[in-house]
Chains A and B, each alone.
Chain A
Amino acid sequence: MNRIWFLMVIGSIACLIWTDPANVLNSMINASTEALTLSIELCAVYAVWLGILELVDESGLGNKLAKLLHPLIKKLFKINDIETEKLIALNMSANMLGLGNASTPMGIAAMKRLDDGSGIATPAIIMLIVINSTSIQLLPSTIIGLRASAGSMTPSDIILPTIISTVCTFVLGVFLVKLFEKIHTKLKRSKK
């Protein structure tokens, strides 16, 4: 992350010095303002979803959901901790419903529990990042809404191709994580 950020910023600023030096500070502050507005919005969204999450947890539904998804989660993450499994189950369910913002607090909480403090991402952390990056979305509601408001005759005809491609990326993601994990452990062993 450090390297990517550095490259992005250095490259852009170097370019802007040629083309539009006055815009550097301006656009940085604008972006930061935008981030603040977004954070305030997120704060409101999270308050609703964390309230709901607490209810799901307290009522025992979370445990039930985790049990339901247990075989899948166990296969993907190789963990055995009901609390983390519950968070991942909720994170994945929210993603499937197209509620990206709702899934974030649960994802963060799950990450905290997966972290082993070594500073290096564990296979389970990488799996969770990739799964969230390829998020299976069964209902792209925002996009359908945008299409409808742009005057589309068939706003929902993108659902099927979206589901097919999202399943493709999900399967590919899981496969690549497992593959790289194997290569990585082999490399580590041969170094020793």
Chain B
Amino acid sequence: MSSYIIPFIFLALFCYSKYKKVNTYDTFVKGAKKSIPLVVDIFPYIATIMIAVALLRVSGITSMLAYILSPIFNFLGIPTELIELVLLRPFTGSGSYGILNDVLTTYGPDSYISRCACVILGCSETIFYVTTVYISQTKVKKLLYAIPIALICALVGSIVACLLCKII
């Protein structure tokens, strides 16, 4: 089902553009041209955040934090096995997909733990990554309460996810 959505949207878009007498080729080139400068601009931000995340993981601080925080997370209904995922999710997309893969193979894809992990990942975002990249082209230095709110939402999302997986 889902594999049909994008092709159909694209087909409709190209036909509609033709109907509106837009030069599809020239227009597409014009848009695609912007991608290289954009990536050149955001690369340093991506690299900087990924370096910090790599250090954090290699140093073992995340597993230590997971151990220290496990009573709190258990109280909130988040299984110990998933704490590292919840902690790392705001920082790294590829890293959290790696953890999800481990969870799926270790516990079996249809187990409670795995389903929780999937929902947690599905309802959250790489907050720090998104934030750095999004504001990289602006002059904004002070984010005020943006990140705390995003983190609270992610935590609540994880709690709701674990709860829902128990019911459904």
Chain A contact surface mostly: helix
Contacts of A8 in B (CB 8 A): 52-53, 55-56
Q: Is the CB of A54 within 8 A of B27?
A: yes
Q: Distance in Å from the Cβ of A90 to the closest Cβ of chain B?
A: 12
**Contact size range, B:** 35 or more
Chain A CB within 10 A, most for which of B22, B94, B134? B134
CB <8 Å contact, A115 and B139: yes
- Residues from chain B with a CB closer than 8 A to the CB of A172 are 152-153, 156
State which of A66-74, A75-83, A125-133 sits at the interface with chain B: A125-133
List B contacts of A44 (CB < 8 A): 35
A5 shortest CB reach to chain B, Å: 6
How many residues in A have their beta carbons less than 8 Å from beta carbons of B?
Answer: 98
Q: Are A146 and B61 in contact (CB under 8 A)?
A: no
Residue of A nearest to B16 (CB): A59
Question: A22–B23 Cα gap in the complex (Å)?
Answer: 56
In the complex with contacts A8-B52, A15-B60, A111-B134, A165-B150 CB distance below 8 A: no
- What 1/0 flags go to A75-96 for Cβ under 8 Å of B? 0000000000000000000000
Q: Mark A1-42, 1 if CB is under 8 A from B, else 0.
A: 110110011011101100110011001101110111011101
A residues bordering B, Cβ < 8 Å?
Answer: 1-2, 4-5, 8-9, 11-13, 15-16, 19-20, 23-24, 27-28, 30-32, 34-36, 38-40, 42-44, 46-48, 50-56, 58-61, 97, 100, 104-105, 107-108, 111-112, 114-115, 117-121, 125-126, 128-130, 132-135, 137, 139-144, 146-147, 150-155, 157-158, 160-162, 164-166, 168-169, 172-173, 176-177, 180, 184
Question: Contacts A8-B55, A43-B36, A184-B145 given; 11 further ones with Cβ under 8 A?
Answer: A12-B55, A31-B53, A38-B50, A50-B34, A52-B10, A61-B16, A111-B138, A120-B142, A126-B144, A139-B2, A153-B110
